[in-house]
Amino acid sequence: MTKPKFSIFNSRFSNLNSQRGSVLISLLITAATFSIIIYSLLAVLASQFDFSFRQTAHDQSLNIAEAGTNYYLYHLIQDPTDFQDGTGGPGPYVHDYRDPQGSIIGQFSLEITPPEVGSSIVTVKSTAWTTRFPDVKQTVVARFGQSSYASFAFLSNASLWLGTGITVNGKVHTNTGIRQDGINTSTVASAKETYKCGKETGCSPTQDKPGVWGIGEDKSLWDYPVPAIDFDAISYDFGQMRSAAQTDGVYMDRSGKHGYHVVFNASGTVDIYRVNSAQRLHGWSADEGGCARRRQIVTGQNLLGTYNVADTPIIFLEDTIWVSGVVNGRVTLVAARFPISTSKTNIWIYDNVTYLEKDGNHALGLIANNDIYFARDIPDDFEINAALLAQQGRIMRHGYLSFCGSHPNAVRNSLSIYGALISYQKPYWNFGTAPDSGFRTRTITFDLNLSYNPPPYYPSVGGIETLSWQRQ
């Protein structure tokens, strides 16, 4: 048998083919691996670019949404009573948003909530997106309106002396000067660079003092001079409030007796009585003839009506008012008589006046065109939840001193006001350092809800501005 012949050449050629096949397989594997890596990198880069573009669209949408609220603020300044974007029809109202070159790059949609009865607060919800990423949306909610006088914890047209026993949690402002010896947790501002400090703020003889001075610790919160607050503008609001009460609330002319007794009930109603008789008590006041007898305690009355607070956002009574109770709802109570400039109508607070809850759903405005008095026989721990305003007079408690009306109730343990205290003239309630008459401790805490939602028909000050702004 003939044996097969193998040569060295054939053997080498076979080996070479084998090697070439191995290299080809390796190249294919490498190429596939490289392709997978490249495509993975491209996918990651594409995802990063998409994320980056969406993030940019996210930021642009927020800017466009804010532009929407700014647009409507300007619109309200031009036309304060238009809540339909000039269309006369219901919203939402969609607007194009252009870049500086005039190209449309996005849109914003406005939902406008008009003010509630007796309020100036408009709520504008602006939702925006870009044309490239219409699914990436941002929403901003802004409240616009006039600031109310109730945006201060303590506001006065006269000089103030905040003594060592008082704590004020909120803004303080006076159009004159302030001696600040107490504790404050917000700004203490005066419209004066300097003022004449007299006996009313502890200076004898009279001397020049800075707009804000005293031994109070946090002087970084002292601010003077600042623009003055116009108290005279409130007299115009009384006419509006009376008209509103005649159409949407409760209005009563002079009682023909001594005034009205208003009792708020936790059930959400309010009782109004005619006061037929009231007991006089001695008390001292520097600007009311010294020691005098004044009607303080209601001894005879008859019920005139019971009303739902929800249906009576404003009560306007042209006579003296006694008030107490638990407020369930939002209402403003006014004691004023026309002509305002020559009449003096007062409010007596003889018992606690509190809210059902301090949750923003309940608010009380107490407005007198003259004085608001704290009576002698108030509770030992006396609490008032309200925005108090004495337009021409002051908020005060008479002195029940040894030479005038001395009584075991002359000194009370504490005064707590939750809301706002606004007094044209200097408010006071303490006599002597002990005190001989007054409160051992006094705390005034601003109700933050009043900043953007004051009581119905509460007087406003200034022009339309942004009261609050938030992202959703």
Mean pLDDT of the chain: 88
Is pLDDT of 2 > 60? no
Distance separating alpha carbons of residues 69 and 72, to the nearest angstrom:
5
Looking at the chain, how many residues does it have? 472
The predicted structure's pLDDT at residue 314 = 96
| pLDDT per position as a tens digit, 6-49 | 454 455 545 555 555 566 676 667 777 767 777 666 665 555 55
Domain ranges, ordered by start, for the chain: 14-136, 149-157+229-462
pLDDT in tens, 134-189: 888 899 999 998 877 888 899 999 999 988 888 999 999 999 999 999 999 999 99
Task: Read off the pLDDT of each residue in 440-468 and give the average, rounded to a whole number.
Answer: 87
Higher pLDDT: 16 or 403? It is 403
| % of the chain at pLDDT higher than 70 | 90
Q: Is the pTM of this model over 0.85?
A: no
Mean pLDDT to the nearest integer, 430-453: 90
Q: How confident is the model at residue 60 (pLDDT cuts 50, 70, 90)?
A: confident
Nearest to 197 by CA among 205, 207, 188, 210: 207
Q: What is the mean pLDDT of residues 257-276?
A: 98
CA distance 453 to 303: 32
Distance linking the first and last C-alpha atoms of the chain: 97
- pLDDT at position 54 is 61
Of all residues in the chain, what percent carry a pLDDT higher than 90?
A: 62
Q: Which amino acid is at 74?
A: Y
For the stretch 285-301, pLDDT in tens is 987 778 999 999 999 99
Q: Of 458, 379, 373, 469, which is closest to residue 419 (Cα–Cα)?
A: 458
What are the tokens at 437?
Answer: 């008459």
For 198-217, write each residue's pLDDT tens digit. Answer: 888 889 899 999 999 999 88
Phi, psi (degrees; rounded to nearest 5) at 268? 100, 15
Contacts 24+ apart (CB under 8 A), 83-91: 83/112, 83/113, 83/114, 83/115, 83/122, 84/112, 85/110, 85/112
What does the pLDDT read at residue 434? 84
Residue 467 pLDDT > 90: no
SS3 359: coil
DSSP 8-29: HHHHHHHHHHHHHHHHHHHHHH
Taking residues 248-275, report their average pLDDT.
Answer: 97
For residues 346 and 256, what is the distance between their CA atoms, to the nearest angstrom? 16
What pLDDT digit, counting tens, does each position of 211-247 carry? 999 998 889 999 999 999 888 777 668 999 999 999 9
pLDDT digits (tens, 9 = 90+) for 362-375: 999 999 999 999 99
